[in-house]
Amino acid sequence: MISLELSADQEALQHKIRSLAKEKLRPYSLELDKKARGPMDPEFRRIMAREGLNAFLIPQELGGKPLDRLTLAIVTEEIGYGCAGFASIYASTVHAVSALLIGGSHEQKSEFLPLLLSDEGDVAGCAITEEKSGSDTTSFSTTAHSEGDRYVITGSKCPIINAGYASFYVVWASSDTGRGRAGINAFVVPGGAAGLSFGPYHEKPGLRCTPTASIFFDRVMVPGSNLIGLPGSGYLLLMQTLDLGRAFFGAICVGLGRAALEESIHFAKNRIILGRPIIENQGIGFLLAELATELEAARLLVWRACRLMDLGLDYSRESSMAKLMASEAAVRITTEGTQILGQRGYINASSMDKYQRDAQALRILEGTSQIQKIIIASQL
């Protein structure tokens, strides 16, 4: 039986995170957006710890209070409703944790996952992208060669969310550059490992409060036990991790789109031209109706993908559909929202301006819309 009704517990959690989004995250993120690039704001880490957000990701036997994937999507949407940048920081931690939950050993999970439950609001990082490879995940210039009972990692990753702040990173590297996908491995690397360094934080138009930088690996040594899964299984783990993560970036887009749509509707109801609110003009009212419909459809696709995860069924296509629909909807809602606000949204700095810049970034993160279409088409 399929139900779209939330349980009492889900509604209570949704209300709690929504209040956090409205009262704390949104006004604070607007302040941070005006500042220059820089490190992760310490208040974000305090919020992470105070609200126990990482506990939602960690198995109960390791001290967590895990949520099913559908409920986690509801939480992620509300965080995105408050601040897409903070939500992206959280989603990067979800990625790293998911990789360990999917392919990690019991010892790896026991050593690294409890680090995220500290009072410091720790985060994790996923080191996948390289400057030259972009969407090409079949090979990496970052290498990991075996030396005795250790692996030596050399190379760089860019751009990486949470760079410089993660308690640990899940790093993908090539152990045999001649074997393509079969030579890719994944490793868990402690955040304080010797030889690990970071470049300056990137100046970005969108997601400005999300710290991103290059990570450099100068012969970073990790024990052989830090290899995740069997040798040569890194590419499969990468695909599984990305498939899962796309739905949650879709949830961020839904939250962002909802915030922008609410602002547009409020303005259209209160902006009076020729004696009536502009929402009564079909050019505005019909447009808002379309945007509201697209947003609801995007949310249902996110929920569908997460429900399949919870059922243990294949969700690869549905997760890409959710990311594609939600990110495109967020871009359209914020673009049309800017048009609806007119000079008020353009001349003066506004939250809609921030929403639009964040939406454009989210359309690229976790695979562009073109990449999502390739994935979907391959499974038709």
Query: Do 337 and 265 meet the contact criterion of CB atoms below 8 Å apart?
Result: no
* 6-15 per-residue burial string, b: 16 or more CB within 10 A, e: under 16: eeeebeebbe
DSSP states of 178-238? TSGGGGEEEEEEETT-TTEEE-PPP--SSSTTS-EEEEEEEEEEEEGGGEESSTT-HHHHH
* 200-239 per-residue burial string, b: 16 or more CB within 10 A, e: under 16: ebbebebbbbbbbbbbbbeebbbeeebbbbeeebbbbbbe
Based on the residue annotation, tell me whether 31 is a catalytic residue of this protein: no
d(CA 57, CA 116): 9
Query: Do 198 and 155 meet the contact criterion of CB atoms below 8 Å apart?
Result: no
* Alpha helices, H only, 38-105: 42-50, 69-82, 84-103
- The candidate with the shortest Cα–Cα distance to 81, out of 334, 253, 256, is 256
What SS3 class is residue 342?
coil
Query: Do 306 and 10 meet the contact criterion of CB atoms below 8 Å apart?
Result: no
Which tokens hold the place of 143? 């290498």
Kindly name the residue from 77, 130, 294, 366 that is annotated as catalytic: 366
What SS3 class is residue 25?
helix
* DSSP single-letter state for residue 273: E
- The candidate with the shortest Cα–Cα distance to 84, out of 365, 355, 368, is 355
Instruction: Give the active site residues.
Output: 366
